[in-house]
């Protein structure tokens, strides 16, 4: 199963980014292989629809779970439609690695 964690940087020690549509990177963590790859979010500067685009990207990557701080209504609808589980983390001061550790546990 694959999980996306919104991230401010390109590696596991980067800070978790609470913004879903405007996060700089998406960390795609594979629970079977325990590996993570980083995908750049190309829509961070969109005036509108950044959340929808991010959700589209995530569904397209066949991800089952997304961890972020806040999902807009349009992104939520789309993720719901494709049974992607949304997990809200309200902690600002946490790294991607720390979230991955929790997932492994």
Only segment of 9-17, 23-31, 45-53, 88-96 that touches other proteins (CB under 8 A) = 45-53
# residues contacting other proteins (CB under 8 A): 16
Task: Write out the binding residues for other proteins, residues 57-86 only, by CB under 8 A.
Answer: 59-60, 62, 74, 78, 82
**Residue-wise DSSP of the chain:** -EEEEEESSSSTTSBB--BSTT-SEEEEEETTTTEEEEEE-TTTT-SS-HHHHHHHHHHHTT-SEEEESB--HHHHHHHHHTT-EEEE---SS-BHHHHHHHHH-
Query: Which parts of this chain interact with other proteins (CB under 8 A)?
Result: 43, 46-50, 52-53, 55-56, 59-60, 62, 74, 78, 82
């Amino acid at each position: 199963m694959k999980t996306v964690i919104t991230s401010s940087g390109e590696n596991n020690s980067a800070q978790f980014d609470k913004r879903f549509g405007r996060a700089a990177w998406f960390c795609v963590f594979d629970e079977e292989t325990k590996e993570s790859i980083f995908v750049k979010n190309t829509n961070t500067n969109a005036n509108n629809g950044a959340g929808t685009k991010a959700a589209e990207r995530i569904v397209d990557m066949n991800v089952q779970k997304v961890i972020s701080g806040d999902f807009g209504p349009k992104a939520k609808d789309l993720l719901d439609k494709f049974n992607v589980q949304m997990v809200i983390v309200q902690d600002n001061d946490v790294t991607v690695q720390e979230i991955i550790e929790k997932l492994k546990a």
